């Protein structure tokens, strides 16, 4: 499933950087100096362990974001930075949702989980942890439905993106 990055004020950036101490702090500083808040941030090593891929989601004015991208590209440890807003890309998130459920509510909770392709990763007499992956909208929809059971805890990864086809992200 692909998704066109949505919302003119929501931007999804891929930043390919040297895997060194302090790089994340310098990148966060670029956003802070220009008044952008980072909504989500995912960092992982690339195939070559000397580099990392950062997927950053931020909201703000497109012209201001262009200044952020230009400033990021000037940093010595940034190999490249791409704004995927409006592109046809594969986008995924992961969420773990711990809900309080009684024995009578379990069947309904499992039906909701099944509908969204979620997996049960923990189960006790009074709670369960569901793991769901997908687009932001899918996660939001499932979380909205399980709120009726009382969400005890929620953890989300933030977006990860990859360009479709042979093109590198």
CATH value at residue 113? 3.30.70.1150
Count Cβ atoms below 10 Å from residue 154 Cβ, excluding itself. Answer: 14
- 49 plus 79 within the same structural domain: yes
Q: Which domain holds residue 52?
A: 3-86
SS3 138: helix
Q: Report the C-alpha gap between 61 and 1 in whole angstroms.
A: 28
- Asked which of 43, 68, 86 is the last residue of a domain, the reply is 86
Query: Is 40 contained in some domain?
Result: yes
Q: What is the tens place of the pLDDT at every residue in 9-44?
A: 788 999 999 999 999 999 999 999 988 889 999 999
- 12 plus 76 within the same structural domain: yes
Q: For all residues of the chain together, what is the average pLDDT?
A: 90
- 109 plus 78 within the same structural domain: no
Query: Is 166 contained in some domain?
Result: no
Q: Where is average pLDDT lowest: 6-10, 11-15, 64-68, 109-113?
A: 6-10
Average pLDDT over residues 86-103: 93
Q: Report how many domains make up the chain.
A: 2
């Amino acid at each position: 499933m692909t998704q066109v990055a949505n919302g003119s004020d929501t931007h999804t950036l891929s930043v390919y950087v040297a895997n060194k101490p302090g790089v994340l702090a310098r990148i966060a500083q670029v956003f802070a100096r220009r008044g952008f808040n980072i909504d989500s941030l995912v960092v992982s090593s690339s195939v070559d362990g000397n580099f990392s891929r950062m997927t950053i989601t931020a909201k703000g004015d497109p012209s201001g974001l262009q200044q952020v991208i230009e400033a990021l590209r000037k940093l010595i440890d940034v190999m490249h930075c791409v704004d995927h807003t409006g592109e046809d890309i594969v986008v995924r998130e992961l969420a773990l949702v711990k809900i309080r459920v009684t024995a009578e509510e379990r069947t309904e909770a499992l039906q909701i989980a099944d509908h969204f392709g979620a997996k049960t990763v923990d189960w006790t007499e009074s709670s369960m942890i569901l793991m769901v992956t997908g687009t932001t909208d899918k996660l939001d929809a499932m979380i909205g439905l399980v709120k009726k059971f009382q969400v005890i805890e929620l953890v989300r990864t933030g977006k990860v993106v990859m360009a479709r086809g042979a093109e590198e992200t």
